[in-house]
C-alpha cells in the first residue's frame, strides 16, 4: 500500500505507527479509507494474527480489510 500523505514507520510508543509526511492545511484530507471490503467476525477469526495486524481495521463497528 502506498500513501502520499503519510508514512508507516516504527513508533516510539509501540510497534509501528502512521505519521504525516508533511504539514497539512486545515481541512486537508490526510488519509481516506476504502470501507467497501468488510468482513464478518467469523471471517476475521480465520485470519492469522500477523495478517490481522497488517491489513484489518475495526472502524464504525465493522471489520475493514485494506
Asked, for residue 9, whether it belongs to a domain, the answer is: no
Collapse the DSSP code of 61 into the 3-class scheme (helix H, G, I; strand E, B; otherwise coil) and give the result.
coil
What is the tally of structural domains in the chain? 1
Residue range(s) defining the domain that contains residue 45? 31-66
> Please, which residues have CB within 8 angstroms of residue 11's CB and are 6 or more apart in sequence?
17
Q: Which pTM value belongs to this model? A: 0.42
Please, what's the b/e burial string for 16-52 (b: 16 or more CB within 10 A of its CB; e: otherwise)? eeeeeeeeeeeeeeeeeeeeeeeeeeeeeeebeeeee
Q: What is the pLDDT of residues 14-64, one digit of tens each?
A: 788 888 888 888 998 877 777 777 888 888 888 887 777 667 777 777 777
Asked, for residue 53, whether it belongs to a domain, the answer is: yes
Amino acid at each position: 500500500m502506498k500513501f502520499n500523505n503519510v508514512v508507516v514507520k516504527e513508533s516510539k510508543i509501540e510497534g509501528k505507527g502512521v505519521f504525516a509526511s508533511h504539514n497539512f492545511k486545515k481541512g486537508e484530507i490526510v488519509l481516506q479509507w476504502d470501507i467497501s471490503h468488510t468482513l464478518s467476525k467469523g471471517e476475521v477469526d480465520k485470519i492469522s494474527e500477523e495478517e490481522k495486524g497488517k491489513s484489518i481495521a475495526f472502524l464504525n463497528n465493522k471489520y475493514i480489510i485494506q
